[in-house]
Every structure is written in structure tokens, then in C-alpha cells.
């Protein structure tokens, strides 16, 4: 049976989220209970998880540094979940034409630029340097919040 013609429009209306490395680790490695609603929404298609080659490389780099060595890390689960649910989009060009918010931590700039360029509604992070940009991000339609602040009932544009 063919999908209804309205399906592409409905798919476009699903909120889009970008997870910084710590938010991804909270969900996929540390299994933080506060990440359960987020993980469930991504897994059931109620939320679109956007990522890019550089965001995946950032996670790989952090894992290679041994950050999670003291945890019983299930790398198969992590990468299987990433491959099944992350929607990989291209990294934005360095000057992608959007009003650029500058992060005091240059390593985190890629998350902000990516979220703005791909019109994500949410950028979830625990990083203080990124969280400082909350107010400015709202003017661009982007909610920057800690992962536990996201809920399926939270408003988004």
C-alpha cells in the first residue's frame, strides 16, 4: 500500500533535535533515566535526531580518549542505535549565511552551526558555554536546553 500523499508534510513537522556529545553519551552509554523520554521519542519516530559526519567524528574522538572506559559500554548498541535512528545531514559550510552565534568553546561551535543550518528546534547539551547562548538561539527558533528539560509535551515551533 502506498503512503498517503500527506506523509512527507507530516514528516517535516516532526521536531528536529541535535544532541551534543554529552547528551548522546547520557542516552546511549550512561543510560541516564532522564534520557529515557528523549530516547523513546527518537526510537519511535516522534523526534528526528539530526547529525553529521563531524558530529559522529566528535563522538568517536571522545570515545577513543577513554572517557567511558569505567562503564560497561555496549558499543554495538551505541552504533546500532546511531545507525538506525540518526539522520545524517551534511556539515554546514563554515559561513553558511545564518546569523552566527559564537560559542566561547570553539569545540562546541559545530553543534550550534549545525543546529541552526538545519533548522533544528532543539539543541540538547549540558555544556555551559553552549547553554549561555539560549536567549540568542530562541530568536532563531532554536531551543538550547539540558537533555532532561526536553519532554514530548515541551513546546516547540
* Position with higher pLDDT, 42 vs 2: 42
Q: Is the dihedral of CA 117, 119, 125, 130 positive or negative?
A: positive
Domain count of the chain?
Answer: 1
The verdict on residue 157 lying in a domain is no
Q: Residues 18-76: pLDDT tens digits?
A: 999 999 999 999 999 999 999 999 999 999 999 999 999 999 999 999 888 787 788 89
Mean pLDDT (the chain) is 86
Angstrom distances, CA of residue 124 to CA of 74, 100, 151: 22, 18, 11
pTM summary value = 0.86
The verdict on residue 156 lying in a domain is no
| Closest by Cα among 11, 86, 101, 98 to 52 | 86
The verdict on residue 154 lying in a domain is no
The verdict on residue 155 lying in a domain is no
pLDDT of residue 143 exceeding 60, the answer is yes
Q: How far apart are CA 77 and CA 104, in angstroms?
A: 33
The verdict on residue 11 lying in a domain is yes
Q: Residues 90-138: pLDDT tens digits?
A: 999 876 555 577 888 878 899 999 999 999 999 999 999 999 999 999 9
CATH at 47: 3.40.50.1010
Sorted by sequence, the CB contacts under 8 Å of residue 110 that are 6+ apart come out as 54, 55, 58, 91
DSSP 155: -
Domain boundaries, position 39: 7-149
pLDDT of residue 10 exceeding 50, the answer is no
Lowest mean pLDDT among 1-5, 9-13, 116-120: 1-5
To the nearest 10 degrees (0 to 180), the angle between helices 21-28 and 36-43 is 90
Angstrom distances, CA of residue 103 to CA of 40, 56, 107: 30, 20, 9
The verdict on residue 65 lying in a domain is yes
pLDDT at 156: 44
Amino acid at each position: 500500500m502506498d503512503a498517503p500523499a500527506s506523509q512527507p508534510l507530516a514528516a517535516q513537522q516532526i521536531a528536529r533535535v541535535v544532541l551534543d556529545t554529552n547528551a548522546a553519551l547520557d542516552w546511549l552509554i550512561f543510560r541516564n533515566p532522564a534520557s529515557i523520554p528523549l530516547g523513546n521519542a527518537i526510537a519511535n519516530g516522534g523526534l528526528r535526531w539530526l547529525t553529521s559526519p563531524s558530529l559522529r567524528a566528535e563522538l568517536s574522538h571522545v570515545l577513543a580518549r577513554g572517557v567511558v572506559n569505567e562503564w560497561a559500554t555496549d558499543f554495538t548498541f551505541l552504533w546500532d542505535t546511531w545507525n538506525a535512528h540518526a539522520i545524517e545531514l551534511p556539515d554546514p559550510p563554515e559561513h553558511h549565511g545564518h546569523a552566527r552565534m559564537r560559542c566561547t568553546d570553539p569545540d562546541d561551535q559545530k553543534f550550534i552551526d549545525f543546529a541552526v543550518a538545519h533548522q533544528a528546534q532543539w539543541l540538547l547539551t549540558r555544556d555551559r558555554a553552549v547553554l549561555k547562548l539560549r536567549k540568542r538561539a530562541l530568536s532563531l527558533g532554536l531551543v538550547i536546553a539540558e537533555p532532561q528539560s526536553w519532554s514530548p509535551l515541551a513546546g516547540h515551533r
